Amino acid sequence: MEIYLKSVAALNDETRVLLLRFLDHYGETCVCDMQASLDMIQSRLSRHLKILKDAGFLRVERKGTWAYYSIRSPLDRFRNEALQEIRYLDIELPPLKKLSETEGCKI
Amino acid sequence: MEIYLKSVAALNDETRVLLLRFLDHYGETCVCDMQASLDMIQSRLSRHLKILKDAGFLRVERKGTWAYYSIRSPLDRFRNEALQEIRYLDIELPPLKKLSETEGCKI
DNA sequence: TCTAAATATCAACATATCTTGATTTAATTA
DNA sequence: TAATTAAATCAAGATATGTTGATATTTAGA
Q: Kindly indicate whether the ipTM for this predicted assembly is greater than 0.95, answering yes or no.
A: no
Q: What is the mean pLDDT of residues A80-95?
A: 95
What's the fold here for domain B2-90?
Arc Repressor Mutant, subunit A (1.10.10)
Could you read off the pLDDT of B50-99 as tens digits, one per residue?
Answer: 999 999 999 999 999 999 999 999 999 999 999 999 999 999 999 999 88
Mutate to test the interface with B, among A81, A88, A92, A93 (most CBs of B within 10 A): A81
* Beta-bridge mates of residue A61: A68
Could you read off the pLDDT of B25-45 as tens digits, one per residue?
Answer: 999 999 999 999 999 999 999
Instruction: Please tell me the predicted confidence (pLDDT) of residue B99.
Output: 81
Confidence of residue A99 (pLDDT cuts 50, 70, 90): confident
Confidence of residue B2 (pLDDT cuts 50, 70, 90): low
Instruction: Please tell me the predicted confidence (pLDDT) of residue B107.
Output: 46
Asked if B66 has any chain A CB less than 8 Å from its own CB, the reply is no
- The separation, in Å, between residue A44 CA and nucleotide C22 C1' comes to 14
Q: Which residues of B touch A11 (CB under 8 A)?
A: 8, 12
Domain locations in chain B? 2-90
**Which residue pairs, CB below 8 angstroms and at least 24 apart, start in B50-56?**
B51/B9, B51/B10, B51/B13, B51/B16, B52/B10, B52/B16, B52/B19, B52/B20, B54/B6, B54/B10, B55/B6, B55/B7, B55/B9, B55/B10, B55/B11, B56/B3, B56/B6, B56/B7
DSSP readout, A18-79? HHHHHHHHH-SEEHHHHHHHHT--HHHHHHHHHHHHHTTSEEEEEETTEEEEEE-SSPPHHH
Instruction: Please tell me the predicted confidence (pLDDT) of residue B73.
Output: 97
- Answer whether A14 sits within 8 Å of B5, measured CB to CB: yes
What's the fold here for domain A2-88?
Arc Repressor Mutant, subunit A (1.10.10)
- The separation, in Å, between residue B10 CA and nucleotide D10 C1' comes to 30
**Nearest one of A11, A8, A87, A73 to B85, comparing CA atoms:** A8
Could you read off the pLDDT of A51-73 as tens digits, one per residue?
Answer: 999 999 999 999 999 999 999 99
Question: How big is the CA angle at B32 (ends B13 and B102), to the nearest 5 degrees?
Answer: 145
